[in-house]
Amino acid sequence: MYFAPTPRGITVAALAWWRRKFALLGASNRLKLPVVQYVLRRFTSSEDGLADIMIEARGLIKRFGTITALDGVDLDVAGGSIYALLGPNGAGKTTTINILTTLAQPSAGSARVAGCDVLRQADEVRRRIGVTFQDLVLDPDLTGRQILDIHGRLYRQPRELRRRRIGEIVELVQLQDAIDRLVKTYSGGMKRRLELARGLMTDPQVLFLDEPTQGLDPQNRVTIWEYIRTLRRERGLTLLLTTHYMEEAEALADTVGIIDHGRKVAEGTPATLAAELGTDLIRITGAGDSTDLAEQLRLLPYVNRVSPGERVIEIGVDSGSRRIAEVVAQANRNGFTIEDISVTRPSLGDVFLKYTGRALRD
């Protein structure tokens, strides 16, 4: 069989056609599957600037009665990358993951995961993904090994393959000494690691992690981070995770998407998003007319952003150490009494608050 000699110059449309063609070939003739996989890897190689898109969503809408949980969400997640989806409670993060993992159907829009349509090819999507959910779903009266073995059986894995996969994954998540104990004896961190191991049992191309470190102490959280980095580095996995921890997204993600009220309101690398807020951030807390002070501060040439609150004003400036005295002087002229002042570099948390606000969400 002859294949095109090089991917150079192949269009995205042509790549999509070849993927569909080879997917059918691989499904109908298992003996040719290694050839199919080789050609797909070759054609989607990033060395010619053709990074493979492993998660693609266009105009996702999800309604629950009169409530719109998602309102036109677009996503593009490159193969081998880590994408963090951030948002307040009820913003639409879990609904997005439920659609991408075939647990829910969109009211409108389309999505493809690992080259398969989530509606028309739901079974194929499930064969290509792993999922760990926000809430732990582990039978406390089974051992860790039994849980992993049952998961492999559900995917019709042969006994020898299950045995080998369990050995490899248990070593990765460092549960060798506990794998034959009942899960009810596990700590919270061990249960999270077992959940991660179960998501890896089927050797997925894409791994979805919904709040993977929720409820863990800092030590266990950092351990999970290391596992996630290892999966991307050594196995080339594509990972999409949701998290409430800004430092987690900054530490792990190549790309961050912020979703609020069902819409994606910002996207970029953590560093790029933070840089949009200005070089430094002066935060003053006090009493007085913050609205009038904010208007005066916006007129200063070195100020690029002002976000006034009831008692807190955040000012983006070119250099915090050089401008702090001038900001204090302007506050004094406006009769604003400063009770506290600080200078920080903008963080992903500042970006999050800029786009989602400070009000608490239920």
Q: Which residues of the chain have pLDDT under 50?
A: 1-18, 20-22, 24-50, 360
CATH assignment of the domain containing 119: 3.40.50.300
**Cα(197)–Cα(144) distance, integer angstroms:** 10
Q: What tokens appear for 196 in the block? A: 């991660």
- Residue 10's pLDDT is 41
Is there a single domain that holds both residue 36 and residue 93?
A: no
Q: Is 356 inside a domain boundary?
A: no
Is there a single domain that holds both residue 76 and residue 126?
A: yes
Is there a single domain that holds both residue 25 and residue 143?
A: no
Is there a single domain that holds both residue 146 and residue 203?
A: yes
275-331: per-residue pLDDT in tens?
Answer: 877 678 899 999 999 889 999 999 999 998 898 888 899 898 888 888 999 999 999
Containing structural domain, residue 322: 278-345
CATH assignment of the domain containing 297: 3.30.70.100
Residue finishing a domain among 226, 251, 271 = 271
Domains in the chain, number: 3
Q: Is 337 inside a domain boundary?
A: yes
Is there a single domain that holds both residue 123 and residue 108?
A: yes
Is there a single domain that holds both residue 117 and residue 140?
A: yes
- Calculate the alpha carbon distances from 219 to 83, 189, 222, 253, 333 in Å: 23, 9, 5, 19, 48
Is there a single domain that holds both residue 82 and residue 191?
A: yes
Residue finishing a domain among 234, 253, 271 = 271
Q: Is 132 inside a domain boundary?
A: yes
Is there a single domain that holds both residue 16 and residue 110?
A: no
Q: Is 2 inside a domain boundary?
A: no
- Residue 51's pLDDT is 52
**Cα(357)–Cα(100) distance, integer angstroms:** 27
- Calculate the alpha carbon distances from 232 to 226, 245, 253, 327, 350 in Å: 10, 20, 11, 45, 27
3-class DSSP state of 20 = helix
Q: What tokens appear for 102 in the block? A: 């075939």
Q: Is 351 inside a domain boundary?
A: no
Is there a single domain that holds both residue 61 and residue 196?
A: yes
Is there a single domain that holds both residue 320 and residue 253?
A: no
Q: Is 306 inside a domain boundary?
A: yes
pTM of the complete model: 0.73
* DSSP codes, 287-322: ES-HHHHHHHHHTSTTEEEEEE-SSEEEEEES-HHH
Residue finishing a domain among 254, 271, 288 = 271
Nearest C-alpha neighbor of 268 from the set 252, 256, 276 = 256
CA atoms within 13 A on the CB side of 125: 22
- Residue 142's pLDDT is 96
Is there a single domain that holds both residue 190 and residue 82?
A: yes
